[in-house]
């Protein structure tokens, strides 16, 4: 069964917009885990505009046997109190690291890796993450020509960037975008890679994707989930996502 990792970045955005300590992403992680999700995702950026470096170990401390997935740009240097992705990983040793080629100026992650350009640079970093006991996933565009190259870097999985699929679904014409995700997943599996997916997934579009890729290992969902939770409550919303994946 595909498992759900809840991305708690949005709780940190809300906290940071006011200052102080509330709402606390640690408490949101506790509620999501109690409601049945399999893990928690965070994406600490160098500008720390949502999850901060000091949140990372606090969240790790409440996970128990749940999976911790830390996302980030492996090329981003330390900045202020942000020590760099590898140092954060060394401190908490998450189950999974998802590498994302985002820049500080991006509002959100909006494209996958170009491995013809970055593959050689990624290989020693991936080895370093794996030396710390982490599974490594690479954020990749659907129908990228580089899917097979992901296996050559030493990565264990890819995460399909599902933003274009979600946009097409909202417009009522998702067949082509869904097919691209399916083709990408099948190519990754043929190359010996596991398959995750994430970005703009919601209760409306998740079931279709999950049925189309029955071997999907994990989805990471934050923005839509917390938007829905504003109206229904976090625990209820997490349970609904878990039910979709179990159907």
On whether the CB atoms of residues 184 and 159 are closer than 8 A, the answer is: no
Distance CA 125, CA 121 (A): 7
C-beta atoms surrounding 246 within 10 Å: 11
Phi and psi of 196, rounded to 5°?
A: -110, 170
167 classed as catalytic: no
Catalytically annotated residue among 22, 27, 67, 71: 71
Catalytically annotated residue among 50, 159, 199, 218: 199
Distance CA 3, CA 54 (A): 26
How many residues are recorded in the chain?
Answer: 247
Q: Which residues contact 163 (CB under 8 A, 6 or more apart)?
A: 110, 199, 200
Handedness of CA 8, 9, 12, 13 (dihedral sign): negative
199 classed as catalytic: yes
On whether the CB atoms of residues 237 and 228 are closer than 8 A, the answer is: yes
Distance CA 68, CA 66 (A): 7
Catalytically annotated residue among 43, 50, 218, 228: 43
Q: How far apart are the first and last CA of the chain?
A: 9
Active site residues: 43, 71, 199
């Amino acid at each position: 069964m595909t498992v759900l990792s809840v991305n708690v970045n949005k709780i940190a955005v809300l906290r940071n917009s006011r200052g102080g300590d509330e709402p606390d992403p640690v408490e949101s992680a506790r509620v999501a885990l109690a409601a049945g999700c399999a893990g928690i995702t965070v994406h600490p950026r160098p500008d720390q505009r949502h999850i901060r470096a000091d949140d990372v170990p606090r969240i790790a401390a409440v996970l128990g046997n749940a999976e911790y997935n830390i996302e980030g740009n492996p090329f981003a240097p330390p900045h202020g109190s942000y020590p760099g992705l590898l140092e954060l990983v060394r401190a908490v040793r998450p189950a999974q690291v998802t590498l994302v080629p985002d820049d500080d100026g991006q509002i959100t992650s909006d494209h996958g890796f170009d491995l013809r350009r970055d593959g050689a640079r990624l290989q020693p970093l991936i080895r370093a993450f794996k030396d710390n006991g982490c599974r490594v996933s690479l954020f990749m565009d659907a129908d990228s020509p580089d899917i097979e190259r992901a296996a050559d870097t030493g990565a264990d999985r890819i995460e399909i960037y599902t933003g274009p699929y979600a946009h097409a679904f909202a417009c009522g014409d998702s067949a082509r975008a869904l097919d691209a995700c399916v083709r990408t997943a099948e190519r990754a599996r043929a190359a010996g890679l596991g398959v995750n997916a994430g970005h703009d997934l919601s209760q409306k579009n998740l079931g279709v994707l999950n049925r189309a890729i029955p071997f999907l290992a994990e989805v990471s969902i934050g923005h839509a989930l917390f938007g829905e939770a504003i109206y229904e409550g976090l625990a209820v919303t997490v349970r609904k996502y878990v039910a979709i994946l179990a159907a």
